[in-house]
Amino acid sequence: MTTDNSTSTSTYTYESDGPAAVAVIGLGQMGTRLAQAFLAAGYRTTVWNRTAAKADALVVQGAVRAASAAEAIEAADLVVVCLPDYGTVGDVLRPASAAGAAGGLRGKVLVNLTSGTPEEAREMAGLASGLGAAYLDGAAMSGTRLVGRPEALFVLSGSADAFAAHREVLGALGDSVHLGADPALAAVYDTALFGLAWGALAGFHHAVALAGAAGVEPTEFAAVAAGHMPFVTSLMTEHARQLADGRFPDDDGTVDVHAAAMEHLVLASRAEGVGAELPELVKSLLERASADGYGAAGIASVARVLREGARHA
Ligand SMILES: NC(=O)c1ccc[n+]([C@@H]2O[C@H](COP(=O)([O-])OP(=O)(O)OC[C@H]3O[C@@H](n4cnc5c(N)ncnc54)[C@H](OP(=O)(O)O)[C@@H]3O)[C@@H](O)[C@H]2O)c1
């Protein structure tokens, strides 16, 4: 048995006998895939959704339909919620936990896979603690299609004991990673990785438009672009090391050299009638780094400039 000490009023304890029973509350696009992944892994899965008909297909696949959120909570050790926002999660869990004949969430593990901000995650950890549950905040990072496959990344943070106790069942969702005891960390990674993915995708969308203007088919371009990505990810590792060291060697070109090259991309885009917003944005970041004295430094210095800018804003 493991006792969780991460929250002051939580009474969560974990008995290791028998497989965990799971509840999924919220059967939208994501919640449905979560429930399917638990079912596919052989876990007894109880489901509840405001619109009951959305559980029909899952029941055919082996899920148990709960008549209320309170009934779903009662049926499970691990309660997974996936609703549009944290306000809705609170609105559903407060009365459901109070109405539960067996004590609602008391002694259970609440896993919240609803998207939100770090501040909302901390507030939800407080609510869970008040209801006597151990809390894991989390985020699904790989859309719905990959859920249940090993490459589907789920980031989780909060109670380390709860994660250790339910690591296997959470592994049914994909690559479930515990980031640390601070419940806000999952939302920090969620928002940061969302920005990273969009930066990469926006770059791709611009690139495929520019190549398309020259007659290159999107699929043809994507094949070459995908082969280029290992170099880009290797730069992330290298730049992270440089940021940790506080030194920005110019091995991959200086900030000023990249700013000049980015101007070529702006001009080439305009010449083809392709939107130049993205290269203009990157050029402005490089120029800001140069104005801050990093013109002759390596391009990882842009991250430091952004960080310092945020600190002094
Ligand atoms: N879909 C994705 O690819 C994806 C990826 C990563 C993260 N997420 C996150 O996962 C969460 C859910 O997304 P989703 O795509 O599954 O949303 P969705 O398809 O719109 O489903 C929303 C779910 O919330 C329920 N709901 C809405 N308002 C409610 C209320 N007041 N009381 C009770 N239930 C309520 C809906 O029930 P009804 O059926 O009754 O309307 C439905 O089950 C969001 O925070 C989203 O950001 C989604």
- Greater confidence, 113 or 5? 113
Ligand 1 neighbourhood includes 96 CB (under 6 angstroms): no
pLDDT of residue 96: 87
What one-letter code names the amino acid at 25?
A: I
User: 280 pLDDT exceeds 90?
Assistant: yes
Please give the order of strands across the beta sheet that includes 109-112.
Answer: 64-65, 45-48, 22-25, 78-81, 109-112, 134-140, 153-158, 175-178
User: 7 pLDDT exceeds 80?
Assistant: no
Ligand 1 neighbourhood includes 159 CB (under 6 angstroms): no
pLDDT per residue as tens digits for the range 191-243: 999 999 999 999 999 999 999 999 999 999 999 999 999 999 999 999 999 99
How confident is residue 284, by pLDDT bands cut at 50, 70 and 90? very high
Global pTM value = 0.88
Structural domain boundaries in the chain: 2-188, 217-312
Ligand 1 neighbourhood includes 32 CB (under 6 angstroms): no
pLDDT of residue 11: 46
Pocket test for ligand 1, best of 24, 34, 36, 50 (most atoms within 8 A of CB): 50
How confident is residue 14, by pLDDT bands cut at 50, 70 and 90? very low
pLDDT of residue 313: 45
User: 285 pLDDT exceeds 90?
Assistant: yes
What residues contact residue 93 under an 8 Å CB cut-off, 6+ apart?
A: 25, 69, 81, 105, 110, 127, 131
Class for domain 2-188, per CATH? alpha beta
Percent of the chain having pLDDT more than 70?
Answer: 91
Ligand 1 neighbourhood includes 31 CB (under 6 angstroms): yes
- Closest ligand 1 atom to Cα of 54: 39
**Is 93 buried (19+), middle (13-18) or exposed (0-12) by CB count in 10 A?**
buried
User: 57 pLDDT exceeds 70?
Assistant: yes
Tokens (6 digits) for 287: 């120029």
User: 177 pLDDT exceeds 90?
Assistant: yes
User: 30 pLDDT exceeds 50?
Assistant: yes
pLDDT of residue 18: 56
For ligand 1, atom 19: residue with the closest CA: 28
**Is 259 buried (19+), middle (13-18) or exposed (0-12) by CB count in 10 A?**
buried
Pocket test for ligand 1, best of 24, 30, 80, 137 (most atoms within 8 A of CB): 30
Average pLDDT over residues 65-85: 97
- Greater confidence, 7 or 182? 182
pLDDT of residue 309: 79
Range name among 17-21, 32-36, 146-150, 156-160 with the lowest pLDDT average: 17-21
pLDDT of residue 4: 40
Pocket test for ligand 1, best of 54, 82, 144 (most atoms within 8 A of CB): 82
For ligand 1, atom 26: residue with the closest CA: 83
pLDDT of residue 100: 59
How confident is residue 142, by pLDDT bands cut at 50, 70 and 90? very high
Whole-Å CA distances, 301 to 38, 195, 272: 44, 19, 31
Contact call for residues 31 and 147 (beta carbons, < 8 A): no
For ligand 1, atom 31: residue with the closest CA: 88
Ligand 1 neighbourhood includes 176 CB (under 6 angstroms): no
Pocket test for ligand 1, best of 24, 27, 29 (most atoms within 8 A of CB): 29
- Closest ligand 1 atom to Cα of 31: 16
CA–CA separation, 67 and 48 (whole Å): 7
Ligand 1 neighbourhood includes 301 CB (under 6 angstroms): no
- Residue 68 CA neighbour count, 13 Å, CB half: 14
CA–CA separation, 133 and 97 (whole Å): 10
CATH 1.10.1040.10 fits 217-312, yes or no: yes
Mean pLDDT over all residues of the chain? 92
pLDDT of residue 19: 59
Contact call for residues 112 and 136 (beta carbons, < 8 A): yes
